[in-house]
Amino acid sequence: MKHFFNRRENIVTEALDGLLLTTGKGRLARLDTFPDIKVILRADWDKSNVAVISGGGAGHEPSHAGFVGKGMLTAAVSGEIFASPSVDAVLTAIRAVTGPSGALLIVKNYTGDRLNFGLAAEKARAEGFDVEMVIVADDIAIPDINQPRGVAGTLFVHKIAGYYAEAGEDLATVAAHAAAAAKDIVSLGMSLSTCSVPGQVHEDRLGENEGELGLGIHGEPGVERIALQPVTDIVATMIDRLSAALSDGADHALLINNLGAVPPLEMTVIANAVLSSSIAKQVRLVVGPAPMMTALNMNGFSLSLIRLNPDREAALVAAVAPHAWVPVVERHEITVVAAPASTGKAHMTASEHEQSRRLITALCNHLISLEGELNRLDGRVGDGDTGSTVASGARSILARIDTLPLSQPAATLASIGDILGTSMGGSSGVLMSIFFTAAAKAMAEKPDIAAALLAGLDRMTFYGGAVVGDRTMVDALAPALKALASGNVATAAKAAAAGAEATKSMRKAKAGRASYLGERDLAGVPDPGAVAVAGAFEVAANLA
């Protein structure tokens, strides 16, 4: 798997410097012990309050350094990717930010973190610092385990401890709030892939249609593999397990955490599934969805819940300086606003006009017959669907021809514009809808079909941006409509045919997908849209 980095041994220090360079001036700093000891701390810290320190291995960004700032962490200590920081690094951080009020260490329940932070705490106490430590063990993936892992629920503890430290509470109070919060958090993760560590060979242990439930944040295997299934079913399984660990009837805050590589579109689908599930009635506050504690590029997510009380709610909703903390929102129902009714549907009253029916039917049938040829041409200069798109619009018009106000030209043009705007698809459908809608307006003001169609062309080219010479349908449509205005349909058909033929020699397209192609790909191939326009005018000329 490919990654953006320079040298593997520098990736963490360069990433931390990138954070410092993109955070507001005067908010964050690093100790001059880089690169061996990597500590990010508040630049405005004066040691008057309790210091809140956390950290761990890198690879969980924005954790932990991304949460350093007013209202949250005072300092974060970083190890290398997925490696606990050293005892010396933690001790250095304690010395740097701890004043008379003392320091609270918040540690995730991994052996390396417990031992290194623990020994650093003991050494700091021996030096005269007042230090307490809270261990977070929120992962419920493995039942009855003595040492559950600390995962994304740790962020709730960061936020609560940071709030009380910022408020000037003493160390015992801050530590008590943090410890109580840590005991009331449950988390569970799910992923469709393993993460990839920069500079290491990546081997995904999962099959094409497998996912892992209950995995950790360091790429370690999940508790079980499950078959790929709709997200509603995946969430339901997770909710069943989380619910079993919750207090019945209590309100909770929910953190929806992106483990690194889930697209925003899918994360909001996950959020919808969670907040439409049986657990929703116990959720009062929502954080996310957002990448808060990631596992590099793991294609997964985790859910964390903390039991609420008034003190915790106040702590969680309080504003903080770090942008990585996503503002908390109250769970709410979706607001639905009635859409205004259309004011322009009066023209849809069906009426009959034999000549108009015959012309529309012949035009649509001819465009449908061109489907294969237009697709073939578009396959050489585009994505191969022009024929299908045009035929789809033509079929939709034929299917609704009995509903058209055929005796009213302006209303018929407007109705065709409506049909194409909803059924033709792609940019060409929108352009043709603009063309017929604008022509209908002009026709209603002055009953001159040639002038009306030119008005439609003017609006279509204004919005679409193409002009004659850009190798589009405009190369046939513009000369045909100008000829129609000064001559007859036969003259217009000849002009359209000549315009379509001219696109064969145009070496560069300036609009549409063909604009991405080189001269060799375009040489000798007419624009399929222009061919369709020429065909339509030929049919009209034969019926005239």
Q: CA quadruple 31, 35, 37, 41: dihedral positive or negative? A: positive
Q: Supply φ then ψ for residue 375, to 5 degrees.
A: -65, -40
Three-class SS of residue 351? Answer: strand
The torsion angles phi and psi of 454, rounded to 5 degrees, stand at -65, -35
Q: How far is CA 257 from CA 147, 164, 188, in A?
A: 22, 24, 10
φ, ψ dihedrals at 130, nearest 5°: -90, 110
Cβ(285)–Cβ(308) below 8 Å: yes
C-alpha distances out from residue 500 to 17, 133, 388, 478, 533, Å: 57, 77, 19, 11, 8
CA distance 135 to 182: 7
Distance CA 357, CA 459 (A): 26
- The angle, 0 to 180 degrees and rounded to 10, between the axes of the packed helices 87-97 and 111-126 is 50
Query: For residue 327, how far is the Cα from the chain centroid?
Result: 18
DSSP string, 184-224: TEEEEEEESS----TTS-----S-TTEEEES--SSSPPPSE
Q: In 3D, which of 117, 115, 122 has the Cα closest to residue 52?
A: 117
**Which of 60, 64, 218, 252 does the annotation list as catalytic?**
218
Can you state the angle between helices 371-381 and 354-369, rounded to 10 degrees? 50
Residues 6+ apart with CB under 8 A from 357: 401, 406
Rounded to whole angstroms, how far apart are CA atoms 154 and 69?
16
Q: How many CB atoms lie under 10 A from the CB of residue 132?
A: 19
The residues, ordered by sequence, that sit 6+ positions from 109 with a Cβ below 8 Å of its Cβ are: 135, 136, 137, 147, 148, 149, 150
Determine contact, residues 235/277, Cβ cutoff 8 Å.
Answer: yes
Q: Say whether 347 is catalytic.
A: no
Contact call for residues 273 and 232 (beta carbons, < 8 A) = yes
Give me 188's structure tokens: 């569970």
Q: Which residues pair with 104 in a beta bridge?
A: 52, 132
DSSP code of residue 418: H
Q: How far apart are CA 318 and CA 311, in angstroms?
A: 11
- Judge whether 503 and 475 are in contact, CB under 8 Å: yes
**Cα 266 to Cα 259: distance, rounded to the nearest angstrom:** 12
Q: Which residues are catalytic?
A: 218
